[in-house]
Chain A
Amino acid sequence: MSFFMEVLLGGLLAGVMYSLVAIGFVLIYKASGVFNFAQGSMVLFAALTFVSLLERGLPFWLSFVISLLSMLLLALLLERLVLRHLVNRPPITLFMATLGLSYVVEGVAQALWGAQVHGLDLGIEDTPLELGGLMLSRFDLFAAGSAGLLVLLLSLLFNKTRIGLSLRAVADDQLAALAVGIRLQRMWVLVWAVAGLVGLVAGLLWGARLGVQFSLSLIVLKALPVLIIGGFTSIGGAIVGGLIVGASEKLAEVYLGPLLSGGIENWFPYVLALLFLLLRPAGLFGERAIERV
């Protein structure tokens, strides 16, 4: 039983890391209706920038600030060069534009900083911690803690500030938001920059775990089922989805994996998401679309 609990808790903590990536998606989808496939490459770009600056001798906080500024710049350029020209296009077009974007961002990141693997040490030793008879990874706990902090900050931003109010208005109804004088384009920049911040945090945590390298951009594929289970429009959903995927993935790997000769973590979350979708076609917390002719 305690083995089961350990696997479960380990999975839940790993799921938090998935949620971090998924939250970036949700922010952008809510505010601009764009399904942003480039979130993974934004994670890569942010982490690679951070780690390269760190390796060039800059202090931690300065590298963090510069990486953040570079994400802001990316958001600005993106709004000016891409999103502005794609207003009112079908969602599928916007999605494919972000596919192209992910190529550009990956290419630029690797052209600037090289393609080799960078180690990243956040100063947290990854030693197991004994808690109530269960062995837990200290690093995972730290990751979960920072994810929790991030979500707290985001919900403060969304619920207690004027910017958050505008963002919620935009998410609710873009036309109405325009009508009351909210500057849509500024909101887009803002939300892409916030998604960049989330990407940076995710990139640091994932980078410390896996090393900062190209495969970091592939976590977008891990975040997709999370997003689907939680629904595209709910930050809470992204977290619950992440927990579900993380826990069930680990449990399946341990209990189901040996029966199927292993390596099932690539497709298992997708099949799980598919099952969820068959029951609830808009995810657990997603908004139900009303279809009219």
Chain B
Amino acid sequence: MFYQESGQFSTRYRQDGRALRLWQQRAALWALLLLAFGLLPFIGNDYWFSAILIPFLVLSLAGLGLNLLTGYAGQLSLGSAAFMAVGAFASYKLQFLLPGLPLLLSFVAGGVVAAAVGVVFGLPSLRIKGFYLLVSTLAAQFFVEWLLTKFAWFSNGNESGVITAPPLLVAGHDFGSPAGRYLLTLSVVLPLFVLAANLVRSSLGRNWMAVRDMDTAAAVIGIPILRTKLLAFAISSFILGVAGSLWAFTYLGTVEPHGFDLSRSFQVLFIIILGGMGSILGNFLGAAFIVLLPIVLSILSGTLLSGVLPAGQLENLQKIIFGVLIILFLIKEPDGLARLWQGWRARARLWPLRF
């Protein structure tokens, strides 16, 4: 019923190396792109852009960053928010120090600074493994938070530490409207996803997976552990840094350390657990889930339980549901939503037949 891959053969090596080998997949991708770029900006309303689409895109990107490190290279991290903060503050500071620096370039520069910080905190991973590595990433989390709140230089002497992000001007166009911010976010997020999707299919991606599965064995077959692990930290932190800049510039509109506390790190971790570790698509699914769940819950409790549930209990309920879902996923579907989607696709291909 769905579609079949029969009859589509690769006749060139180039065709064999494609990320999407079937024309149906490519057509679906183009349709999605058309929808995202051509249709949504015109039909969406401000609430959709500001409360759903922008955080969804940025969190997908953050999930991607952590997924490269944890899902592909197997290095557990609880410091994602720290690298996001570094990216955001570096972008902001560069914008301030070098007036006239193109906005997109400052995002990239923010990512580069985050990558450098990531490498520093990734260095211990060469000697420390498994849970012990949590210490290094948590050290990053607390140290960066402390640094950014304690030293006024980072926030230009602003007392509260909260700074308003500069206007979003790209090549003379103002992307300040909700639809504009959405488009800007989308056009930063998508290329990074394309890059990452190809990266994990490259030899570097294979090295990451080898290190994840067993780093001693990987070292024995000649994979340079040092370079592989540090590259994982660098690239992951770069992506997280860009995500942090976007979070501050296009979503919040303010740059502040408290937007990047430990609970943000957990949020990013939950995205990849729920979405699927070691999956590119999973980041989108996980982020959509994380963004939509609170909204759906509050709507549900507003209609079904209005008056029954005291206001304060909603947050507790949300927490419980969240925790239960995480445990359920780990028990039933450790590979996350991405795996569910795969299974559904495999069944849909044969429907209505069973085999």
Contacts and interface: CB of A to CB of B under 8 A. Distances in A.
Given A93-B330, A99-B326, A100-B322, A107 B316 contact: yes
Contact of B146 (A89, A111, A267): A267
A281 B326 contact: no
B124 A95 contact: no
A99 B131 CA distance: 13
B29 to A, nearest CB: 31
A10 B287 CA distance: 45
A33 to B, nearest CB: 11
Given A107-B316, A291-B216, A96 B135 contact: no
A97 B330 contact: yes
B299 interface: no
Interface string A158-172: 000000000000000
A150 interface: no
Contacts of A278: 124, 127-128
Given A91-B130, A115-B312, A267 B142 contact: yes
A102 B322 CA distance: 10
Interface residues of A, number: 49
Contacts of A110: 316, 319
Interface residues of B, number: 45
Interface stretch (A56-64, A141-149, A175-183, A269-277): A269-277
B136 interface: yes
A2 interface: no
Interface string B295-333: 000000000000000001100111110111111001100
A269 to B, nearest CB: 9
Contacts of B116: none
Contact of B150 (A101, A103, A261): A261
A293 B323 contact: no
A277 B127 contact: yes
A82 interface: yes
B263 to A, nearest CB: 11
Given A82-B331, A104-B324, A277-B132, 16 more contacts: A92-B130, A96-B326, A100-B324, A102-B323, A103-B326, A106-B319, A107-B320, A224-B138, A228-B132, A232-B131, A262-B150, A266-B142, A271-B143, A277-B127, A277-B128, A282-B132
